[in-house]
Amino acid sequence: MSSLLSVRDLRVDYETPAGPARAVSGVSFDLARGEFLAIVGESGCGKSTMLFAIAQLLTYPASQVGGTVTFEGVDLTTLRPEELRQHRWRDFSVVMQSAMNALNPTMSIGAQLADVCRAHTDWDAARITQRCAEVLAMVSIDPAHLKSYPFQLSGGMRQRAMIAMALLLEPKLVIMDEPTSALDVVAQRSLMRQVQALREQLGFSVLFVTHDMSVVSHFSDRLAVMYAGEVVEMGSTRAVFDDPQHPYSHGLMDAFPSLLGAPRVLTGIAGNPPSLVNPPGGCLFAARCAQVMDVCRSVHPELLEEDGRTVRCHLFHPVAS
């Protein structure tokens, strides 16, 4: 698979009264055409901020302070707003966390879909109506709901309508920020199956953020685990689930139930993430890590790759020795 998106050394700060808080710190990865990459981590680890930076949607107090985001050879960070507009919806689209907040409650679903078409294409009214009906049908919503308002749809239908909107212009990449977090587990599963089927049918790539690893366990190709603004582990989803290497990845695995295997006691990860304004030296996970060593408190571990897995932990790259 060839690379569609290339992120290098991405850094994002939030301006705070105490000084800049480094929310995303030196994140780099490639996303192949048609690939599904899931980004997991607890709330506040920087995963949604990173998605917004990739989509060039950051607003004050957040700002990108370094790095590049290259989409099909074009560095999005160098484009003017009008140039970016040419790429949005056509090349990449974003599905927000809460459809109820993202959709306009005073406009019908059809009017909102048509708005996107009018803003980004020169299609006539008949073609717009046809395309809007097509994408609703693709996400299993009766096109009769083009006339419905968001409050007339269930939570799952609203979220599917958001996905329909994201697919209007057949983008190559769909960026999803916790699209299932407001849904019950049955609706979550149904939505994920739908995304999977559409991806197989249309061939788009997915960048998917979630705090719940179980949501993506059966759907993503690769998994990136983020902690305190950094990627601490990345690899194929199966490999990371079957054999997590970073102690934080282990902690996340132990914190959610599995449908397979014997029942087990769930455990949380004790402690809190570090200050991002004055981060400690050494490993950012050291204060919560059961396997912490002396070296961890003074030397910041590098993210190193071996056999397709990347891990940021001295246990696997023992500088102590």
Residues that bind ligand SF4 (CB under 6 A): 246-247, 283, 285-286, 289, 291-293, 296, 301, 313-315
Question: Shortest approach of ligand SF4 to residue 39 CB, angstroms?
Answer: 19
User: How, if at all, do strands 173-177 and 92-95 pair?
Assistant: parallel
SS3 28: strand
Taking the least distance from each CB to ligand SF4, the nearer of 134 and 294 is 294
Neighbours of 251 (CB within 10 A): 21
In the complex with ligand SF4, the residue whose CB is nearer, 61 or 281, is: 281
CA dist list (Å): 254 to 4, 46, 48, 88: 33, 21, 23, 38
Q: Give the three-class secondary structure for 9.
A: strand
**Do 131 and 117 form a contact (C-beta atoms < 8 A)?**
yes
- CB of 229 vs ligand SF4, minimal distance in Å: 15
Residue with Cβ nearer ligand SF4 (160 or 246): 246
Task: Indicate the residue among 160 and 314 with the shorter CB distance to ligand SF4.
Answer: 314
Closer Cβ to ligand SF4, 277 or 292, answer by number: 292
Instruction: For residues 223 and 235, give the distance between their C-alpha atoms in angstroms, rounded to a whole number.
Output: 6
Minimum distance of ligand SF4 from residue 289's CB (angstroms): 3
CB–CB of 38/208 below 8 Å? yes
Our CB check for ligand SF4 shows the closer of 119 and 304 to be 304
Q: How far is the CB of 310 from ligand SF4 (least distance, A)?
A: 14
Rounded to a whole number of angstroms, the minimum distance from the CB of residue 280 to ligand SF4 is 11
Q: Which lies closer to ligand SF4 via its Cβ, residue 168 or residue 252?
A: 252
Minimal distance, residue 285 CB to ligand SF4, in Å: 4
| 125 Cβ neighbours under 8 A, 6+ residues apart | none
* DSSP assignments along 60-112, one per residue: TTEEEEEEEEEETTEEGGG--HHHHHHHBTTTEEEE-S-HHHHS-TTS-HHHH
Q: Assess contact for 210 and 40: CB atoms under 8 A.
A: yes
Q: Which residues of 86-110 are buried (b: 16+ CB within 10 A; e: fewer)?
A: ebbbebbbbbbbbbbebbeeeebbb
CB of 284 to ligand SF4, least distance (A): 8
Q: Which residues contact 321 (CB under 8 A, 6 or more apart)?
A: none
Structure tokens at 132: 């809007």
Closer CB to ligand SF4, 109 or 232, in the complex:
232
Q: Is 255 helix (H, G, I), strand (E, B) or coil?
A: coil
Distance CA 268, CA 307 (A): 29
At its nearest, how many Å lie between ligand SF4 and the CB of residue 321? 14
Give the total residue count for the chain: 321
